[in-house]
Amino acid sequence: MPSADQLHLLDLWLPGAEVVHDHSWGQVERAVREVVHAGRRYIVKAGGPDDHHMAREIRAHQSWLQPWTSLGRAPLLAFADLPTRLLVTHHLSGRLVLGTEHEHAAATYRQAGKLLALLHRQGGTTDEGHEARENRRTLAWLDSPHRIAGDVVARLRRLVASWPTPSTTLVPTHGDWQPRNWLVDDDGVVSIIDFGRAALRPAMTDLARLQVQQFRGRPDLERAFLEGYGADPREPGAWHRTLLREAVSTAAWAHQVGDEEFEAQGLRMVDDALAAISA
C-alpha cells in the first residue's frame, strides 16, 4: 500500500483520482496502480522504504527516454518525487508482448532492436573500473544463499579471478530488456515500459535476457533484432563474462525470493554459459 506521504502527494497531483486496476507484482516492495483523473489514465508507482529501483526509474524518465517518448513509444513522465519514492506517468496503451503471438514474431524483435539502438546511441562514457566492480558483484552473489553446486561455484570463482578488467564504454541501458516489458498495440507497434533497472552499462548487457530466453532455438528472432539494432554489440570475451554474471545473479536472486521457476532458469543459464566458455 502507498504510504501516507505518498497518498498526500498523489492527492495534490491528481486530486480525486480513481484506481481502476492494480498492476502490483508481489515480489517487490512497490504498489503499481492504474488510475483515472479528469478523464485521463495514469500509472502510479509507489515504492516502499527498501525499493532501490525507484531512483533508477525516475532518472530514466528524466534523462534518457526522450528518443522513445518523442515517438510515443514509452510513457511520458507526469510527476515524480524521489524522497517519497513516488512516480506518475501517462498511461501507454497496449498489451504485454509476453505470452502473445507477437512474442514469436520477427517483426516484434526488429522493432525492439531499433528502439534499443535509439536508447544506446545517446552517448557513452568510458569507465575504467566497471569490469572489476562487476567481478566483485558476481563473487558477492556466490557468497550469498543459492543452490549452485559446490564444484560449479569453485569453477566460477576461478574463472572470475582470471578475467581481465579492461576499460568499458557505458551507455544508458534498460536493464530488463525482454517481452514482459514490451507493449504491443492493435497495429503491432511495440512500446517500452518499466525502467527500474535502467542504468549506465555496456550496451551488450541488454541482449542477455533475450539470449537465454527468446533467442534460444530461434536464430530468426536474433537476426531480426540485430537487423533492427543495426550492428552486433557483443564482443565475444566480454559477452561470455556478461552471460555468466547474469546467470549467477539470476540463480541466486531467484532462490532468495523463492521463485523456483526463475531459479531453474538461472541454474540452466550457469550450465549453458560454462559450456559456451568450454566450447
| Mean pLDDT in residue range 139-144 | 98
Q: Please compute, for residue 207, the number of CA atoms within 13 A of its CA located in the half-sphere on the CB side.
A: 28
Mean pLDDT, residues 164-175: 98
Nearest residue to 230 (alpha-carbon basis) of 208, 203, 254, 209: 203
Residue ranges and CATH numbers for the domains of the chain are: 4-92 (3.30.200.20), 96-278 (3.90.1200.10)
Please say whether the dihedral angle defined by the alpha carbons of residues 180, 181, 183 and 188, taken in this order, is positive or negative: negative
**More reliable by pLDDT, 2 or 22:** 22
In whole angstroms, what is the distance from residue 134 CA to residue 200 CA? 13
| Angstrom distances, CA of residue 163 to CA of 143, 202, 242 | 18, 16, 11
Provide, rounded to the nearest whole percent, the portion of the chain with pLDDT above 90. 94
| Average pLDDT taken over every residue of the chain | 96
Asked if pLDDT for residue 279 goes beyond 90, the answer is no
239 φ, ψ (degrees, to nearest 5)? -65, -40
Average pLDDT on 65-72 reads 98
The model's pLDDT over 24-53, given as tens digits with 9 standing for 90+, comes to 976 567 899 999 999 999 999 999 988 889
